[in-house]
Amino acid sequence: MSHQTVLVLDFGSQFTQLIARRLRELSVYCEILPFNTPIAAIKAKHPIGIILSGGPSSVDEEGAPHIDRAVLDLGVPTLGVCYGMQLMTHMLGGTLARSGHREFGHALVRRDPSIASRMWKGMPDQLKVWASHGDFVAAAPPGFAVAASSDNAPVAVMEAPERGYYALLFHPEVAHTDRGKELLRNFAFDVCGCTGDWTIASFIDEATSRIKAQVGNGRVVCGLSGGVDSTVAASIIHRAIGDRLQCIFVDNGLLRLNEAQQVVERYKKLKLPVHHVDASATFLDRLAGVTDPEKKRKIIGKTFIDVFNDKAKELGDFDFLAQGTLYPDVIESVSVRGPSATIKSHHNVGGLPEGMKFKLVEPLRELFKDEVRAVGRDLGIDKEFLVRQPFPGPGLAVRMLGDITRDKIALLQKADAIVADEVRKAGWYERIWQSFAVLLPVQSVGVMGDARTYEFTVAVRAVESLDGMTADWARLPHDLLASISSRIVNEVRGINRVVYDISSKPPSTIEWE
């Protein structure tokens, strides 16, 4: 079964992914393609609608991204958003002008009650929206009706229904726009005729069939990290081909407290064919004395590939390598914002090892993170697996500044376990993106009982984020921070001071290394 598809042509807006997410939430299948995708490739997708995204450029500046005019002549309903509206205006004979008052942030858009707008169907007379533009439409192209305006934009919504053209000079996809999802619903359902046939159940069935067809009688090897992406990917592949999938879980000695045992037990429950390799001694030997963060990452990545490669060879010949690549990674690799490697170096499978001529199986490459969790729920995977906070591929190595020793790992594991336990007990674990402890190469004087101590400092980090791209430090209650600090200092011998990190990303990163 093929889904009705809405295509988003990306002009570089930071919000482009949100358009796809909002449509997926409406059960409408949506793909993002670069603005310069050849017309033949667009036609091959048989889109039921096309959305031209926002972007940072001005339409008339040198090097600004433009589409092939043939896109507008496809006879497919087309919605321009912000830059997409300006480009549509430019290409269809309207007039653009620089705004004396750049509209950035909240704006109030008022409808023209004399226009029977299809985009504005069911909306109030005015909406608070999120705008981000320095240019405005001075005159709509011939044949367009102006359905709404704002104080700084005489043409905020325009449409030419008989030609299938619609445009908004604001972002309906962001949470700051009131009823923005309803505007997208109007375009998808009322204008394009979508029926909402994109569901998680249909995805699982189709992904299973696709894997069967792709793999045939071949064998697949998969590196499992214990995280949600690799676990869900392996579960779908196992559903498709059974034990012709073999999974390798590498314990690098840098996991959370008791995590290796817990993960292996959970995989047994899922009946996945998993080979547990305890390579902690190898990793720690190679990391001995290394303090530079980038060197740590490279050593861990290369060691993982060496261990994975050796175990895969021991298990026989494989034709395919499974990866938990998600849709944001795919978008990033073809985006107008610049190419990047599709295979993510920060994942435990840090790329295709040299000499391993595998083809890739990536069952989740169409999905966003929240959709992966929904697939996991439908597959019966434990909630504990699905709600786990993200954990970096190099593990605790990037949360331990300075050299790495077994003693320091033990200290950090205990402190980190206390953070997780207290955050869970307080009901914050699923409300925030990540929460963890960082061991600092700083010792300070303390007093315990009547004795003087000179011990390590731990920083507690907790952030709120939607996707990890940006993050704000979490305003955890003081009582919760007090409990965390008290328990760490009292229960972890070797740590006598706890501090809280109140840095946001940017300018800081979430991890410390």
- C-beta separation of 438 from 400 below 8 A: yes
Q: How far apart (Å, rounded) are the C-alpha atoms in residues 334 and 31?
A: 12
Measured CA to CA in angstroms, residue 390 lies from 45, 140, 400, 467, 510 at distances of 33, 47, 17, 10, 11
Q: How far apart (Å, rounded) are the C-alpha atoms in residues 38 and 41?
A: 5
> Which residue type is seen at 440?
L
Q: Which of 238, 232, 245, 242 is nearest to 200 (CA)?
A: 232
> Rounded to an integer, what is the distance from CA 292 to the centroid of its chain?
28
Tokens of 506: 């940017």
* Torsion angle in degrees (nearest 10) through CA of 320, 325, 327, 330: -70
**Residue whose entry in the numeric block shows the structure tokens 């992904």:** 207
- Exactly one of 3, 30, 82, 182 is catalytic; name it: 82
- C-beta separation of 140 from 89 below 8 A: yes
- C-beta separation of 427 from 479 below 8 A: no
Map residue 90 onto helix, strand or coil: helix
User: 171 catalytic, yes or no?
Assistant: yes
Q: How far apart (Å, rounded) are the C-alpha atoms in residues 349 and 286?
A: 18
Measured CA to CA in angstroms, residue 17 lies from 62, 134, 180 at distances of 26, 22, 15
- Exactly one of 3, 90, 133, 171 is catalytic; name it: 171
User: 133 catalytic, yes or no?
Assistant: no
Q: Which of 202, 256, 254 is nearest to 378 (CA)?
A: 202
Say how many C-beta atoms besides its own lie within 10 A of residue 24's C-beta: 19
- Exactly one of 3, 90, 133, 173 is catalytic; name it: 173
> Which residue type is seen at 59?
V
Q: Which of 390, 408, 437, 391 is nearest to 287 (CA)?
A: 408
User: 294 catalytic, yes or no?
Assistant: no
- C-beta separation of 247 from 277 below 8 A: no
Tokens of 12: 């570089």
Measured CA to CA in angstroms, residue 28 lies from 19, 45, 78, 104, 456 at distances of 11, 14, 15, 29, 52
Could you give the residue numbers annotated as active site?
Answer: 82, 171, 173
